[in-house]
Structure 1
Amino acid sequence: MTTKRDPRDVTAEPPGAPDPRRWLALVVLAGMQFLLVLDMTVVVVALPEIQADLRFSQAALPWVINGYVLTAGGFLLLGGRLADMFGRRRLFLAGVLIFGVASVVCGASTSSSMLVASRFAQGTGEALAAPAALGMIPLLFTDGRERMKALGVWGGIAGLAGTLGSVISGALTGVDWRWIFYINIPVVVLALFLIPRVLPESRMARESPRLDVPGAVTATGGLIAVVYGLLQAASHPWGSWQVLAPLLGGVALLVAMVVVESRSPDPLIPLRFLANRTRVTSNVLSLVIWAVFIGYVVLLNWYMQQVLDYSPLRTGLMNLPRGAAIAAGIVLCTFLMPRIGVKPLLTIGFLGSAAGLLLASFIEVDSSYEGAILPGLIVFGLFSGLCYPGLINGALHQVTGQDSGLGSGVQNAMQQVGAALGLAVLVTVALRHTEDRVHGGTVPAVAQTDGYALAFRVGAAALVVAGVVAVLVLERVSTQRRNALAEMPGDPASTTTSAESSPS
């Protein structure tokens, strides 16, 4: 009697035989990765149009971004555990479905609360889909050379999504901002059709870990409350209950998260992972660079549209030099890192990025693009790009094979959380300063420009502090290739991070 082989079962292939569907599967995985990265940056240029159409307050507008990144970052590690337990293809399919439905609701939103709620749902879809997709690449590409090519394609697609986000946003917003969400639908439908046909199912062979749902919920809830409190400070005094209640509540939830993690038999982030000084410092520095980056991008786009009166398409195109500069910085860092080490590059990168933000702070109500905006874009882009590969290397310093997936997952989560915190802090700084200047009799456009400039200087100061920390705290990190990272399923995240760190 002949047993019919299920073509979707990866274990049915002879040992070591490459999956014949692997390149088509990579197209599906990379296509969804393109959308997941794109949806964090594609809304930036569209924010003023969204604000006018759905009547967002200026302080509430950042939630269009924060709702997505906080949920994605907060539940990313939990999503990885779910993929291990219930199957990566199954979780990827579920994440894509949630992301697609949420995209439809985003585009159809008739109120600010409806849009923000659907952005939280989109973030949930990413938290399920992204780690499952990352874990499938090394299973599909068992040959080391093919795997590196696949990871290169994955990283390039993610970087392209980040770079094109502002341009796509500008072009579609000129028609209707809702199309920045509707463009997801054809890709999602195609992915839902292909996923069961080209992706094999896989899950952990060993006993699956327990789910640390309380840890994920308290961490995400605490971060959301803290960010909400910071944004409330843009329109309320620091001592008001509107600010203190969410801030204190968020801190309490984060403390509860620490308690839960310390007592959990299988925590999302084991204490052993936090024992390495360089690893922890690199993750904190990743949070800082992303906090400043996203805040800078959003406020600069607001300045170009609201003060200089640029169209959405022109604003998107004006962001392209930053993407090119970031790519150049990443290439330069990759070349220099084996020669001079991670620590000097991070120090130079953070201090150079601070100089770029300082240049950006010399904006006025009638500044020219070439004289006031472009220099900051290029300098900040080049030196921030110099940081990203080094931060990945540091975040994975002395990570064992057992923790390679955890290391890359924590680094990605820190990027998402940093984006939300940075946007909350820098927007609050800008709006409070603007309001104070307007009450003092300053012309609104001038006050608004001064608020943006102050936020850029605050961001520059944070980067200087980060550069000093890099000098004082980081160990010398070896840049030799780690065998564990070339072999473990968690590795792809470390490759995509450098590309995802270049949104424009």
Structure 2
Amino acid sequence: MEEPDPRRWRLLGLLAVAQFMLILDVTVVAIALPHIETDLGLRRETLTWVVSAYTLMFGGLMLLGGRAADLFGSRRVVLTGLIVFTLASLATGLANGPELLLGGRVAQGIGAALLSPAALSVVTKTFDGEERNKALGIWSAMGGGGSAIGVLLGGLLTAGPGWQWVFYVNVPIGLVVFAVLWRMLPVDLPATRDGRIDVPGALLVTAGTGTAIYALINAGDRGWLSLATLGTLAGAVVLYGVFAWVQRTVRSPLMDLRILTRRPVAAGTFLILVATALMIAIFFLGSFYLQHFQQYGALRTGLLFLPVAIAAIIGAQVAGRLVGHVGARLVALVGFLIAAVGMAVPAIWDGAIAIVTGTTVGTIGIGAAFVAASTTTFAQIDYREAGLASGLLSTFHEFGASLGVAVVSSVAAASLSGTVSTGFTRGFTFAAITAAVAAALAVVVVPAFKSSTGAVHAH
């Protein structure tokens, strides 16, 4: 039997740092958004796209990244994605208007979409058995912690050298990680040489989701049941339908849609979609509440999210240890119930203490739900499908982020641009109800099995 590479844990650490950067970049802008809004004169809708443009491209092209890892080898795709993300971060920091800002965010998303599933594929191939449980516990903690720590780091950088540094900080880290990974990543053979990259499929699924997000962002102003909102959502459904048709007819589809008919995969993707939407929603609401309504500075706001960062890591680590013993269904149920209780706190009580306490408690549950999502998705995945499944799970993660910020931006529209707190109350109430409904659905959709071999967590 071949001895495992003794450097495998160091390699995991480097890949986790790279992944940490990608997930951090979803939330690191949360604290900086009010400052970007002032400096560049952005409207609420445009400001929402600063988050959604990145997560949309990240999610929309994730399957393409997973497929590319299978076709060209994980090493090439990891390094390509990392350098694209790093250079795009530099361009975004240099932005002096909405065009370059959003263009840079799009490019960051493209780099992230290549890097993330390829890096995750390396992890799944490097570890096995109980070691994989431990490795993916670290991966989960870095990903879940990245979302929360992004808000803290965003506050420190925005209050210090300026909001541009929430993007500039990626440059030196990215270059160092690239140089080390260039030497450490093993040269791997492609998982398959039969096939092509389905670019039309990737563009269609991205366009469909982008159209849906556009409708949700503007629903707060146009009305949720207005002709414009419903018509735009119908357009998104049509684009998804065309995507499904293309996947059934092209020679080398982006994905085999039949994978979504497997109960574990469908359940896992549902769990991660909801968990990420809730995570991003409460960060978005909390940041604007503390800065716009309470008039706290960026540094104070960032520091108040420190317990939230710790909570995300604790939730993922505890769930990673328990999921093999009690099963993903129970972890998901308890995780979403904890999230619902946490988000009910700022929905019922007003004030900074309620915001911080509620988001801290809620994030423990969301971190656990992330682990339940990954263990469920990968419970019955074949080795040859690792790249596709990694990309699929990560796709729903980023789509969840895009949809979460789009919906709460509309639900809380009045409070984001004004001085009333009713929009924030509605936003947290909506999030708490969503978490409670997800807990109930988890009992129905998540299979009742225990994983002893480990599973992959997208973020």
Superposition TM-score, scaled by structure 1 size: 0.83
- Which SS does the other structure have where 1:201 is aligned? coil
Partner of 1:375: 357
Instruction: Give, in whole Å, the separation in 2 of the partners of 1:286 and 1:214.
Output: 25
Alignment of 1:327-346 (within 5 A): 327-346=313-332
Kept in 1: contact 2:327–2:451 (CA 8 A):
no
Partner of 1:416: 398
Partner of 2:436: 464
- Which SS does the other structure have where 1:317 is aligned? helix
Kept in 1: contact 2:70–2:387 (CA 8 A):
no
- Corresponding position: 1:183 with 2:169: yes
Kept in 1: contact 2:130–2:452 (CA 8 A):
no
Partner of 1:34: 20
Q: Of residues 30, 37, 48 in structure 2, which corresponds to 1:62?
A: 48
Bigger-Rg structure (1/2): 1
Q: Of residues 158, 161, 169 in structure 1, which corresponds to 2:146?
A: 161
Q: Give the counterpart letter for 1:430 in structure 2.
A: A
Shift in CA distance, 402/112, structure 1 to aligned 2, threshold 3 Å: same
Kept in 2: contact 1:38–1:162 (CA 8 A):
yes
Kept in 2: contact 1:59–1:235 (CA 8 A):
no
Q: Of residues 123, 129, 149 in structure 1, which corresponds to 2:109?
A: 123
- Which SS does the other structure have where 2:47 is aligned? coil
| Deviation of 1:132 (Å) | 2.1
- Which SS does the other structure have where 1:378 is aligned? helix
Kept in 2: contact 1:51–1:57 (CA 8 A):
yes
Partner of 2:450: 479
Q: Of residues 263, 266, 273 in structure 1, which corresponds to 2:249?
A: 263
Kept in 1: contact 2:70–2:192 (CA 8 A):
no
Partner of 1:389: 371
Q: Of residues 155, 159, 183 in structure 2, which corresponds to 1:174?
A: 159
Q: Give the counterpart letter for 2:439 in structure 1.
A: G
Shift in CA distance, 65/18, structure 1 to aligned 2, threshold 3 Å: same
Alignment of 1:271-290 (within 5 A): 271-290=257-276
Unpaired segments of 5 or more residues in structure 2? none
Alignment of 1:145-224 (within 5 A): 151=136, 153-175=138-160, 176-204=162-190, 206-224=192-210
Kept in 1: contact 2:60–2:205 (CA 8 A):
yes
Alignment of 1:217-366 (within 5 A): 217-238=203-224, 243=229, 246-364=232-350
- Which SS does the other structure have where 1:234 is aligned? helix
Q: Of residues 427, 431, 451 in structure 1, which corresponds to 2:423?
A: 451
Instruction: Give, in whole Å, the separation in 2 of the partners of 1:253 and 1:147.
Output: 38
The CA RMSD over aligned residues, in Å, is: 2.8
Number of residue pairs matched by the alignment = 458
- Which SS does the other structure have where 1:46 is aligned? helix
Percent of matched pairs sharing the same residue: 35
Q: Give the counterpart letter for 1:316 in structure 2.
A: G
Superposition TM-score, scaled by structure 2 size: 0.90
Deviates more, 1:149-158 or 1:193-202: 149-158
Shift in CA distance, 68/452, structure 1 to aligned 2, threshold 3 Å: same
Instruction: Give, in whole Å, the separation in 1 of the partners of 2:158 and 2:281.
Output: 21
Shift in CA distance, 135/314, structure 1 to aligned 2, threshold 3 Å: same
| Deviation of 1:19 (Å) | 5.4
Partner of 1:401: 383
- Corresponding position: 1:73 with 2:44: no
Shift in CA distance, 278/73, structure 1 to aligned 2, threshold 3 Å: same
Instruction: Give, in whole Å, the separation in 2 of the partners of 1:205 and 1:44.
Output: 38
